[in-house]
Every structure is written in structure tokens, then in C-alpha cells.
Amino acid sequence: MTATTAPPTPVASLTRPRPEWPDATGHFGPYGGRFVPEALIAALDELTEAYEQMRVDPVFLAEFERLHRDYTGRPSPITEVPRFAEHCGGARVLLKREDLNHTGSHKINNVLGQALLTKRIGKKRVIAETGAGQHGVATATAAALMGLDCTVYMGEEDTRRQALNVARMRLLGAEVIPVTTGSKTLKDAINEAFRDWVTNVETTNYVFGTVAGPHPFPAMVRDFQRVIGDEARAQLLEREGRLPDAVLACVGGGSNAIGIFTAFVPDADVRLVGLEAGGDGVETGRHASSITGGDPGVLHGARSYLLQDANGQTVESHSISAGLDYPGVGPEHSHLHDLGRAEYRPVTDSQAMEAFALLCRTEGIIPAIESAHALAGAITLGRELGPDALLLVNLSGRGDKDVETASAWFGLGGTRGDAPTDSDERAVEDGHGGEPGPALGTPEETTVQDGDAL
Amino acid sequence: MSAPGTTSLLAERIGVARSEGRSALIAYLPVGYPTVPGSIEAMVAAVEGGADVVEIGVPYSDPGMDGPTIQEAVEVAVQAGVGMADVLTAVAAVAQAGAVPVVMSYWNPIERYGVQRFATDLAAAGGAGAITPDLVPDEAAAWIAASEEAGLDRVFLVAPSSTPARLATTTAACRGFVYAASTMGVTGTRATVGDAAEVLVARTREAAGADLAVCVGLGVSNGDQAAEVAAFADGVIVGSAYVRQLLDGHGPDGVRALSADLAEGVRRR
């Protein structure tokens, strides 16, 4: 295979042929659609139409490309991580460095597109939901850049475990509203954002953070995120002269995973592996693995896999990672799962934190705990595939925001004077809190092969 | 009684009210607040006070269209594990009390129970049909087929933001009445009902023709507001104000008194 030219720009991504799904009304096979109050249909129609016009408008495309290059810092590089890969059965591991984007994650790819769309439809205010705070920070950033008012809904529980991101959003001029209903996490923040939207839809656009929700969000967010995979595919052909054997990404709502998968969907020999948050283990019921441990239903405007009880009530999810702590998943993932084109595996809190520490100590990269789930998947899959395998892992975000949670997990002791958060308590309870030393040994001491100590 | 598929229980009852020169009073209460028997007692009290129709709310964990009052009550019911069997018990009790029971449910509890099974069991319990606030006709093929077969009413919503084309397709898919959500927003009592409701009702009638009743919900909390809405709508839907009676500890007596005030309102000329 011959090498190709430079990675495609975001513009090239948007004008590229799209997958055959969704259909005109937003269905990915039996999934997706629009399960919303009639009051929102007009706004969703307006967004759909405006987006379809915008994505082929040369003026928009030039602005979008300029922002991604000069503001976000695209293309993001590929980094090979050989010392980490020693723990992956000898497979080679390449990271797609979305953690190096401005604001620290892949979320910026999507919000720049949706913020430009907001201006195009003449609205002055944006609202967003956020779990880990990455989408909230990205939205607050885009709003500051483009002069839009910004309100972010965040579960009260998440405002505690991601306090750094709350401060960032406020510094950027956004109003952060802690949501105290239900489980006080991402799902309730989405409910509250929808309530705001239906009330203020004349002036307000909802900048949705992931490939879930009602049509057009799953398709539109995918289109904005597919630059990850389009770039990575070209970068791999350029430097390796071949495609990877597998592409791995963590899946909460699933936007970084769809972003890196989409370019590879037609490459039948490339395995697409989504890593769901397994929490304490799917068998314990305390997890966030919607595909592995849930079944189809309707939540937040779309049909997809979700965690629900016999009465159809959404079941609370559990994960050490706020960004994956969501009981649903984007409809395209449900479709890819049913088609057998992608596979979804759970990664427990412990496995994710083991991979987190390993990347820190072997490569000098502190990943987001979300992305550490994908790294844990690489450790397992690498051992299954053996030394010739080439794995591409989406490092969707950086771990600055997770320093306190990780410190508590590994018992590194506090650098803060304030009381521990719920998440810290969870980390201490589940991890090695209070026991210094063995939790974070040198890589050589690390016995990840046994899947326990670290 | 007519055979399934021929008579709409809701249209029939609203027609009786119209023949009396008034609007129908439609009361919403969720099953399971404060308890299942307590909620059924409240529904019966609403009927005794003068409600023609009771909207029987199915508790749901993610009520995206509801404001804080209904959220608070429903969360208690969800925590208690209230499910469709309890809803069907309430349906039978309301029918027994002499009002027309119609279920109000977000879509997932119905899909989880099974659309066919829900239609069959609801008809058997004496229910008129269902109001589905987050199911638009575009996604409702299975429900339209099942409700048609069981002879049940289907109430979809229209909103001030609905285009003329959507008003036409939505009202065409309705059976029993169409729910005009009078304001852009979530459920809850409001100081004034506003002109938007009257405009929406007029636009809806224009799209639907004279055969489909138009009932107005969102914001009505007392007899005066009910009278205001009754001047232009076939039915007045009241939810949060009823739930407020229970949250404030006034119990079935409070519900009965509110019904009496609202029933007087819908009869005012």
C-alpha cells in the first residue's frame, strides 16, 4: 500500500460521503429517531435544515477549517507508545492525541461546529449538558469566542467530582447550574437542559455534547467528530503504509468513538472496539455498560440501548469516570453493535485506573479516566491479537481534571485542604486509598498481566 | 356499549359536556403519590368534585416535559417501584367512579411493557386510551396500529411552535381529542394563561376541522383561569395544581375542592 498525503482537514471530513445511515428522519436501523415533545420539533427541523445548508457552504467551511487549525490545533498527532505497549502482549499501540486539542479533549471538534450553527440561525444563547465537564468547558469556550451567552447544566454530584472544570467554565463566563434532581448526574443534566430548551427555544440553541439525543444530533455530532478518524486513517497510511488491526475508543454517549470509527467502517478488516464503563463489574449491576448490560428502549429523545428496569425506568449508572457515567448510548453504536460491525466490551473501574497509571508511568501522558478505559481495552486486545497487531487508540482527553480522583484512588494523599468528595470516597473505597507505595510502583513492578495489583 | 373501534370514549364524554354548553374538565394525577391507594383515592375525589376525565399519570424516571411540582411527586412513585399493573388498577377505579380514564405516559414505560400488551390490557381495564407527550405521530406506527385494533383513543400534542403542516398531520393521527400545550415550556401553574393558548386553539381547529375536540393544558390552576380557557377550548386540562394539593398535604379533600372550583369555572358563561 502506498503512503498518502497529509491528513484531511475538518472541511474534507464534512464534505466526505457519509455512512448509509441514518435515514432522512434520523433512524439508524431501528434506533434513533425523535422522541421529544411536539414543541421541540420545529427547532429540530430548523437545526436539521440549517445544518444541511451549512455543511456545504464554502464560507462556513473556510471558517470551520481556520478555527480547527488556528484555534484547536488540528490535526492532532499520532504518538506511538512502546513502553506502554510492552504490557499489551507485544502489540504496537498508537494513540490519536485528541487530549492535545485546545480545551483538552475531542469535545471542541463538535462545539465549534454547533456554535457556528447557532450564529447562523440567529440565536444568542447556548445551553449544554455536561458530565465530566469537558463538553461544558468546550461549549463555554466556543461561546466566549463567538460572543454567545452560555448556560451549562451539570449534575450536582459531577460538580463535586469535577470541580476544576466547573471553575474553568465560570472563568470562561458561563453560568453553571448544578442539577439536584434524580441521580444528580449527566442524565438529569440532560433532562434539565431539555426543559430549558423547550421554554426558551426562540432565543436558545441546545449544543448537544454527544452522538445521542433526537435527530439531527447523532448524525450532526458524528459529522463534526469524524475528523478524528479521517485524520488518523490518513496518518496511519502515511506512516505505516497500512491500516490498524483494531481501533479502540471509550464509549459513554459515544462521540469520540463514532468520531474515530466512522472513517474505518468501510474497512471490513479493521476491528472497531468500543469500551464501555464497567464500574464495579457488569455482573454487580453497578456499571454504565448500556450495550453490554442493557437493552433497547427510549431515553433522551432516541431509541437505543439503555439501562432500565422492568417498568422502563432508567437505572442509575455507576462509573469512576463522570464522562462515561451515563445509562444510555448513541443510536449509531446500537446499530453498529446489532450489525456486528463494532464490538463493545466493558472495562471496570479497576482496569481503567490500572491502565491510567500505566500510561502515566510509562509514557509521561496523564489520560482522562474516560480515555483510560480505551487503554485498558488495548491491554486486553493486544494480548489476544499478539505481537504483530497494530492498535489505534483514541486518547480522547487529558487527565488534569481527574487528578484528585486518581490521587484518592491511588492513596497519594491530598494536596487540598477541603473535605473529600463523594467521588474521592468512592475512589478510596474501591481503590487503594491510604495505602501508599504499591498502588503506583514502577512499570517493572507493575503486574498488570494478573489484572489486579497496581 | 359499542364494539371496539367504533366509539371514542373521550370524544363521547367531551361531546356530552359540549351539549351542556360547557367545556370538559380533565384532571391529571400520577399513580403512586403519595402511595398507590392514596393516589387512587385522590383520583376518585377529583371525579367526585366534577372532573369528567382523569389523566392517569404513569411514573417515569426522566419526565423531560414536567416542571418541579410533578417531578417531585413522580419521583416518589418511581422510587416505590410503581408500574403498569398499578396504573391499570387506577384506570379501573376511575372508570368505576364514573369518569373517563385516559393514561398519560412518556413512551418508554409503554414500550417496555409491550405496545400490544398495553393496548389490550388498557382496553380490558376500561381505559379510553393514552396521551403520549414525547411520542409524535412520526414515531408512532406501532401505537397507532395497536390502539386502532383495540379501539383506543390516541392523544398527541400540538404546540405554539407547530407548523400548519404539522398541525394537520398531528390532528389527523389523533383520536378522542388533541392536546394543545398552550405555552412553550414544562408543566406547572402560571399566573396567567396568555393569548398563545387561544391562538393555538384557533390554528388547531382550522387544521383539524370541527370533528376533533381541542383541549388545553399547561398552566391552568383555578376556576377563573379554567373559565377563561373554557371560552375557547373543548376541554381544560389541569395537572400541577392537583398535584400541589397532595404535596401540600391537603389530601383527597383538597383535590375534591379544587375540582369543584374548576368544574364551576368550565361552566361559567
Question: Given an 8 Å threshold on Cβ–Cβ distance, is A191 in contact with B82?
Answer: no
A292 and A337 assigned to the same domain: yes
pLDDT of A380 higher than 70: yes
To the nearest whole percent, how much of chain A has pLDDT over 90? 82
Between chain A and chain B, the number of residue pairs with CB atoms below 8 A apart is 112
Inside any domain, residue A173: yes
pLDDT at A317: 95
| Pick from A226, A160, A35, A392: nearest CA to B60 | A35
Least confident window among A18-22, A234-238, A395-399, B104-108: A18-22
Asked if A100 and A367 touch (Cβ cutoff 8 Å), the reply is no
The cell for A218 is 447523532
Mean model confidence pLDDT for chain B: 95
Q: Report the residue from B59, B71, B107 with minimal CB separation from A181.
A: B71
Residue B218 has pLDDT above 90, yes or no: no
In three-state secondary structure terms, A105 is: strand
Whether B162 sits inside 8 A of A308 (CB atoms) is no
Residues whose CB falls within 8 Å of the CB of residue B50, separated by 6 or more in sequence, listed in order: B25, B259, B260, B262, B263, B264
- Of A402, A418, A436, which marks where a domain is finished? A402
Are residues B63 and A191, on separate chains, in Cβ contact within 8 Å? yes
Query: Could you tell me which of A351, A398, A331 has the C-alpha nearest to residue A133?
Result: A398
Q: Average pLDDT in the A308-313 region?
A: 98
Shared domain for A97 and A185, answered yes or no, is: no
Confidence class for position A417, pLDDT limits 50, 70, 90: very low
Q: How far is B88 from chain A (nearest CA, A)?
A: 13
Confidence tier at B186 by pLDDT (50, 70, 90): confident
Task: Give the mean model confidence (pLDDT) for residues A15-19.
Answer: 87
Q: Are A352 and A312 in contact (CB under 8 A)?
A: no
Mean pLDDT of chain A: 91
Indicate if A37 and A110 belong to the same structural domain: yes
Confidence of residue A56 (pLDDT cuts 50, 70, 90): very high
B62/A314 Cβ within 8 A: yes
Task: Clarify whether residues A268 and A388 are in a common domain.
Answer: yes
Q: Report the CATH number at residue A89.
A: 3.40.50.1100
pLDDT, tens only, A105-157: 999 999 999 999 999 999 999 999 998 899 999 999 999 999 999 999 999 98
User: Same domain, yes or no, for A110 and A182?
Assistant: yes
CB atoms B78 and A313 under 8 Å:
yes
Asked whether residue A332 falls in the same domain as residue A279, the answer is yes
Where do the domains of chain B lie, and which CATH numbers do they carry? 9-156+235-263 (3.20.20.70)
Mean pLDDT of B193-197: 82
A159, A264: one domain: no
* B102 beta partners: B55, B129
Q: Check whether B208 has a pLDDT greater than 90.
A: yes
Assess contact for A287 and A324: CB atoms under 8 A: no
Question: What Cα–Cα distance (Å) separates residue B5 from each residue in A446, B114, B122, B157, B204?
Answer: 70, 20, 14, 22, 24
Residues A124 and A141 in one domain: yes
Our measurement of the distance from residue B30's CA atom to the centroid of its chain's CA atoms, rounded to an integer in Å, reads 11
Q: What range defines the domain where residue A168 resides?
A: 28-72+106-219
Closest-CA residue to B38 (of B79, B85, B86): B86
A25: helix, strand or coil:
coil
Where is the domain boundary, A402, A421, A441? A402
* Residue to test with chain A: of B108, B118, B187, most A Cβ within 10 A: B108
With respect to residue A247, please indicate whether it lies within any of the assigned structural domains. yes
Nearest by CB to residue A37, choosing from B81, B82, B157, is: B157
Is the CB of A34 less than 8 angstroms away from the CB of B138? yes
Residues A50 and A188 grouped into a single domain: yes
* Highest averaged pLDDT of the listed ranges A183-187, A419-423, B247-251: B247-251
Q: Which residues of A belong to the active site?
A: 107, 129, 396
Residue A427: inside a domain, yes or no? no
Q: Which of A219, A234, A260 is the last residue of a domain?
A: A219
| Residue A421 counted as domain residue | no
What was the pLDDT predicted at B193?
Answer: 72
Residues A251, A191 within the same domain:
no
Q: Supply the pLDDT for residue A21.
A: 95
In a domain, A392, yes or no: yes
Q: What was the pLDDT predicted at A6?
A: 62
Q: Is residue A43 one of the residues assigned to a domain?
A: yes
- Residue A17's pLDDT is what? 86
Domain count, chain A: 2
CA A168 to chain centroid = 19
Q: Do B65 and A195 touch (CB under 8 A)?
A: yes
Which residue type occupies B38? G
Radius of gyration of chain A (CA): 20
In this prediction, residues A228-236 reach a mean pLDDT of 98
Is A375 among the domain residues? Answer: yes
CA A2 to chain centre: 32
Which chain B residues are Cβ-neighbours of A188 within 8 angstroms? Answer: 62
ipTM rounded to 2 decimals:
0.96
Of A34, A297, A299, the CB nearest to B139: A34
Same-domain status, A194 and A97: no
A304: closest chain B residue by CA = B108
Tell me which residues of chain A, numbers 32 to 71, contact chain B at a CB-CB cutoff of 8 Å: 33-43
Put simply, whether A304 touches B (Cβ < 8 Å) is no
* A304 within some domain: yes
pLDDT at A451 over 50: no
φ, ψ for residue A415, nearest 5 deg: -110, 5
Same domain, A158 and A268: no
Res. A440: pLDDT tops 70: no
Distance between A197 CA and the closest CA of chain B, angstroms: 8
- Residue B213 confidence (pLDDT) above 70: yes
Task: Write down the pLDDT at residue B194.
Answer: 73
Q: Report whether pLDDT(B199) > 60.
A: yes
